[in-house]
Amino acid sequence: AFAPSFSAKKHTALNAALMQDQTGQSSLDPAVIAKYADLPFPKDCILAEYVWVDAVGNTRSKTRTLDASKAKSVDSLPKWNFDGSSTDQAPGDDSEVILRPCRIFKDPFRPRSDGVDNILVMCDTYTPQGEPIPSNTRAKAMESFEGNDDQEVWFGLEQEFTLFNLDQKTPLGWPEGGMPSRPQGPYYCSVGPENNFGRMITDSLYKACLYAGITISGTNGEVMPGQQEYQVGPCVGIDAGDQLMMSRYILQRVCEDFQVYCTLHPKPIVEGEWNGAGMHTNVSTKKMREEGGLEDIKQAIYKLGAKHAEHIAIYGEGNELRLTGAYETASIDQFCYGVANRGASIRIGRDTEAEGKGYFEDRRPSSNADPYLVTGKIMGTIMEDVDV
């Protein structure tokens, strides 16, 4: 059975009703769309798409026209606001949520050829009094990162995702109402029309992320048919969260274009022998990357083990369906680590062990986990002064 996406949970009926309208979009003659897309932009202004994270962890956005000179840095961009009562992020009688620009990317969906860039702006969210609102997990994460620049912490985030037809029931490549005739095995890193479903989406995402200025380091087909992965990183500190969140926005926009439904649910198919979806989080500090760094990695793993439950609590909704101890996961209530062990909570790579320095992989976060919470929590835990 299909476990509805955490994001679509409340709106499944509505979405199902909308599908009929949406399929109409793809039948538009591309020449008609091109007529408008090819119009030149006025040189003195740009379009800025302000993106933020909503109450359930999805991205939302709206656009404004700005004087081109305003787009030089996040500090020169104006703050903006939105109606928080429409997103469950503010009460109706005091509905304004303030958007504060944090990070600028190039907009891959509105390219222009005059040497000026339209932009995507990753924002976080505040009350008019200047307090972060409860869903502003970026502000929480900043508490762990601030003052720790000298650690030069890097994160590499592996984002797995699952593609469905617009019915939200049938993964790409699956027969309607049934299961693939062949079990898992041929689909991971696959080629061929019988094995790889959705490659054009992953490839388009890759190109769009590169254009935007996201440090996307690779992609691959995943173990379950219809599942894919891309990796963002290594990114330094809070930038990992900003980049991953913007990459998720781009993923949803690409899927909008392809008219394919994408879910970040950690166990989109619960019946049968199918892998779930994670957001493996690779971590290193400057010391871990230097001679003898393996000792620092082991200390960090010790500290992470002592706080296993606290980490699991913020590693994603529905993760208990995925972390069963099977399908390349460790059980949710056990902490263990190992070299090259994909059934462990934390994996140390062979290269890292052989060289005595490098990084470790926290395999526990689920695909829908909040990257700000995950990176901030790891940073907080490994920076603690604990006798080990």
304, 381 contact by CB (below 8 A): yes
Q: 76: which DSSP letter?
A: T
* Choices 118-126, 155-163, 164-172, 186-194 (CB under 6 A): range interacting with ligand ADP: 155-163
Q: Rounded distance, CA 85 to CA 72, Å?
A: 31
137, 144 contact by CB (below 8 A): no
Find the shortest distance in angstroms from Cβ 113 to ligand ADP.
Answer: 32
Instruction: Give 100 or 357: the residue with its C-beta nearer to ligand ADP.
Output: 357
Q: Specify the amino acid at residue 193.
A: P
Q: Rounded distance, CA 87 to CA 160, Å?
A: 26
Of residues 138, 267, 280, 364, which one binds ligand ADP by CB under 6 A? 280
Q: How far is CA 235 from the centre of its chain?
A: 13
Q: Rounded distance, CA 168 to CA 263, Å?
A: 9
Q: Rounded distance, CA 138 to CA 282, Å?
A: 19
Instruction: Give 331 or 341: the residue with its C-beta nearer to Mn ion.
Output: 341
- The angle subtended at Cα 63 by Cα 62 and Cα 64, nearest 5°, is 135
* Choices 190-198, 311-319, 320-328, 358-366 (CB under 6 A): range interacting with ligand ADP: 358-366
Of 85-114, which residues contact Mn ion (CB under 5 A)?
A: none
Q: Rounded distance, CA 241 to CA 244, Å?
A: 5
Which residues are 16's β-sheet partners?
Answer: none
Give me 206's structure tokens: 């890759």
**280 near Mn ion, rule: CB under 5 A:** yes
Find the shortest distance in angstroms from Cβ 280 to ligand ADP.
Answer: 5
* Choices 119-127, 235-243, 279-287, 308-316 (CB under 5 A): range interacting with Mn ion: 279-287
* Choices 123-131, 222-230, 255-263, 292-300 (CB under 5 A): range interacting with Mn ion: 222-230
Q: Rounded distance, CA 82 to CA 53, Å?
A: 12
Find the shortest distance in angstroms from Cβ 163 to ligand ADP.
Answer: 18
Residue nearest ligand ADP (C-beta atom): 156
Of residues 4, 57, 156, 266, which one binds ligand ADP by CB under 6 A? 156
Find the shortest distance in angstroms from Cβ 209 to Mn ion.
Answer: 16
Q: Rounded distance, CA 344 to CA 227, Å?
A: 21
Query: In which element (H, E) is residue 66 found?
Result: strand 59-67
* Choices 30-38, 60-68, 150-158, 255-263 (CB under 6 A): range interacting with ligand ADP: 150-158
Give me 260's structure tokens: 């394919």
Q: Specify the amino acid at residue 382.
A: I
* Choices 119-127, 146-154, 225-233, 244-252 (CB under 5 A): range interacting with Mn ion: 225-233
**346 near ligand ADP, rule: CB under 6 A:** no
Instruction: Give 71 or 153: the residue with its C-beta nearer to ligand ADP.
Output: 153
Q: Specify the amino acid at residue 122.
A: M
Of 13-32, which residues contact ligand ADP (CB under 6 A)?
A: none
Find the shortest distance in angstroms from Cβ 239 to Mn ion.
Answer: 20
Q: Of Mn ion, ligand ADP, none, which one sits near residue 370, judging by CB under 5 to 8 A according to partner kind?
A: none
Q: How far is CA 338 from the centre of its chain?
A: 26
**230 near ligand ADP, rule: CB under 6 A:** no
Phi and psi angles of residue 346, each rounded to the nearest 5 degrees, phi first: -125, 130
Q: Rounded distance, CA 319 to CA 278, Å?
A: 9
126, 134 contact by CB (below 8 A): no
Find the shortest distance in angstroms from Cβ 363 to ligand ADP.
Answer: 8
Find the shortest distance in angstroms from Cβ 357 to ligand ADP.
Answer: 9
**202 near ligand ADP, rule: CB under 6 A:** no
Which residues are at the interface with ligand ADP (CB under 6 A)? 154-156, 158, 217-218, 231, 233-234, 280, 282-284, 289, 358-359, 361
